[in-house]
């Protein structure tokens, strides 16, 4: 299992991967053997890139998790179990042999992945498990998996205590999650939550904050089914996102200012992002009264099943790309209905790129200065306490929204000391605003402007006017020597190779 820590407001410290303690009463005796045979142990060799030195990999780590056999000779597990994996093996219960596996489909935002095994005989004789319905509160569930402390299958029990939207620790997605009021442990990540002989969830994360006891979370069936349907064509479309920001409408003065009638409730639209599906359809000041057939309350919640409420995002999560979302809104006191054709959502609308997995970092080196885009991978490289250890400029940038003029930030990460960059040897983690006086849209725009730049000097500046100036002839003449001195294989990442230098398909 791969441990991945994240600090979230209202949740405390979330740790990925788990198991619950107790007895397997939620599984009938006749179903026990079938479920037991369908639970798989997953061995991962994780080799993540080093975002402090983006041309290198970090040391490999061995971890393990759990999974369940589902229809189509597939294994359902967590994305964080296989993220950045360079080598995967799977093992059946009671069988000492390990078999090679690969990732067939992954949704990092929903923390789910589908594996397949190279040997077609691996799953022979195993009856796949089907996806059931979300349990009711206080209903007993069983968790199957391989937590640390032993090598054999562990079958434990918990009670469903709550269902509502939570932040998923792996990639920060915000989705419905089931809460189990039982202790959970590393190693059960990806293991099935079972009622009868059906999967009613995939164990995901635990809350280990100092004030929390026995709080574990699983991915519910609605999210699992969404990913399985998304995987049918092999293209990851993900979840839809209107591209708006809203706030609660529980202030009487706020309601009156936006002409909301006494019998009406909803979510106030405060921002519509350029280029989003809602651009041109919604506008700041609109009040979303309902999404499809779900009335929206003043706290932005909806009743997703009888006497149970969660964030209105639940209604959007039921849609796939290409489907139509119906909104009932109030605009200046007038009620109207609009339809929005759902498109794939952006990973986020911040200038700080969302965390990415299973790919190498982008970087560009010029005059010994290492340039990178600012993303959550870099910020989290400061460790589990990145909230307090990462540079303040990086952390505050997460609240800067993208605009057409600037979609991401460029950072001078560090300087590889040489004569050409004398005077800047201790500069690091420096956010750049302009290159030769021109504003920067994104990292690729920065690289394009750098390559096209002319003149004797390259001038870089931040928003306060501080500068790095490099003499162009010296920077170009010293490139090979600097790369050799610091054992850098090439001056840029593969995704930034010039078209004429790009490798043939």
Residue with tokens 């059906």: 198
Closest CA to 281 of 230, 243, 248, 246: 243
Closest CA to 111 of 233, 195, 227, 29: 227
Residue 159's H or E segment, with its range, is strand 154-167
End-to-end CA distance of the chain: 35
- ∠ Cα 485 490 492 (to 5°): 125
- Catalytic status, residue 345: no
- Catalytic status, residue 230: no
On whether the CB atoms of residues 189 and 65 are closer than 8 A, the answer is yes
* Secondary structure (3-state) at 33: helix
On whether the CB atoms of residues 434 and 461 are closer than 8 A, the answer is yes
Question: Which tokens is 205 given?
Answer: 């994360």
In the structure, how many helices (H) and strands (E) does the chain have? Answer: 10, 30
In angstroms, what is the C-alpha Rg of the chain? 25
Using CA atoms, how far apart are residues 427 and 430, in angstroms rounded to an integer? 7
Catalytic member of 63, 154, 189, 301? 189
Closest CA to 43 of 105, 86, 107, 76: 86
Instruction: Tell me which DSSP letter residue 156 carries.
Output: E
Residue with tokens 């489907």: 323
Using CA atoms, how far apart are residues 178 and 216, in angstroms rounded to an integer? 8
Q: Strand (E) positions, 225-333? A: 244-247, 267-272, 287-291, 294-295, 301-305, 308-311, 324-331
Alpha helices in 258-383 (DSSP H): 313-317, 376-380
Using CA atoms, how far apart are residues 133 and 113, in angstroms rounded to an integer? 20
Using CA atoms, how far apart are residues 165 and 434, in angstroms rounded to an integer? 40
Instruction: Tell me which DSSP letter residue 293 carries.
Output: T
Catalytic member of 31, 111, 197, 317? 111
Catalytic member of 31, 63, 64, 80? 80
423 — alpha (psi -120 to 50), left (phi > 0) or beta? left
- Catalytic status, residue 396: no
CA 69 to chain centre: 24
Residue 399: how many CA atoms within 13 Å on its side-chain side? 4
Q: Mind telling me the catalytic residues? A: 80, 111, 189
């Amino acid at each position: 299992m791969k441990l991945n820590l994240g600090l979230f407001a209202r949740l405390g410290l979330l740790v990925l991967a788990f198991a619950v303690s107790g007895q397997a009463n939620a599984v009938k005796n006749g179903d026990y053997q079938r479920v037991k045979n369908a639970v798989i142990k997953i061995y991962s060799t994780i080799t993540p890139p080093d975002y402090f030195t983006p041309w290198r990999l970090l040391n490999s780590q061995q971890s393990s998790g759990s999974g369940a056999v589902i229809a189509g000779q597939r294994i359902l597990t967590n994305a964080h179990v296989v993220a950045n994996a360079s080598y995967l093996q799977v093992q059946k219960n009671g069988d000492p042999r390990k078999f090679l596996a690969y990732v067939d489909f992954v949704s990092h935002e929903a923390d789910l992945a589908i594996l397949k095994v190279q040997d077609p005989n691996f799953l022979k004789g195993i009856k796949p498990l089907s996806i059931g319905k979300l349990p009711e509160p206080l209903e007993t569930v069983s968790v199957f998996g391989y937590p640390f402390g032993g090598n054999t299958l562990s079958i434990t029990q918990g009670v469903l205590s709550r269902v509502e939207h939570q932040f998923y620790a792996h990639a920060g997605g915000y989705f419905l999650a089931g809460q189990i009021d039982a202790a959970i442990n590393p190693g059960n990540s990806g293991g099935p939550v079972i009622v009868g002989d059906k999967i009613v969830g995939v164990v995901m994360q635990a809350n280990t904050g100092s004030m929390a006891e026995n709080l574990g979370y699983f991915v519910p069936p609605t999210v699992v089914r969404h990913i399985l349907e998304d995987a049918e064509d092999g293209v990851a479309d993900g979840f839809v996102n209107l591209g708006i920001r809203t706030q609660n409408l529980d202030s009487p003065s706020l309601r009156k200012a936006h002409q909301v009638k006494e019998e009406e409730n909803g979510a106030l639209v405060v921002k519509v992002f350029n280029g989003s599906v809602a651009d041109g359809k919604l506008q700041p000041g609109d009040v979303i009264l309902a999404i499809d057939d779900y009335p929206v309350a003043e706290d932005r919640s909806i009743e997703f099943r009888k006497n149970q409420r969660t964030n209105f995002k639940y209604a959007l999560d039921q849609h796939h790309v290409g489907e139509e979302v119906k909104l009932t809104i109030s605009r200046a006191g007038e009620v109207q209905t609009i339809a929005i054709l759902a498109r794939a959502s952006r990973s986020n609308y911040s200038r700080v790129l969302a965390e990415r997995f299973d790919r190498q970092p982008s970087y560009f080196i010029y005059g010994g200065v290492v340039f990178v885009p600012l993303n959550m991978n870099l910020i989290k490289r400061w460790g589990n306490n990145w909230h307090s250890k990462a540079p303040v400029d990086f952390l505050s940038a997460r609240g800067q929204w993208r605009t057409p003029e600037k979609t991401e930030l460029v950072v001078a990460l560090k300087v590889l000391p040489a004569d050409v960059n004398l005077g800047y040897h201790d500069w690091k983690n420096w956010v750049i605003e302009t290159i030769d006086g021109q504003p920067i849209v994104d990292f690729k725009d920065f690289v394009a402007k750098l390559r096209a730049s002319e003149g004797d000097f390259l001038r870089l500046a931040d928003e306060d006017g501080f500068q790095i100036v490099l003499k162009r002839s010296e920077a170009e003449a010293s490139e090979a020597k600097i790369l050799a001195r610091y054992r850098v294989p090439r001056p840029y990442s593969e995704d930034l190779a010039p078209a004429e230098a790009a490798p043939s398909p």
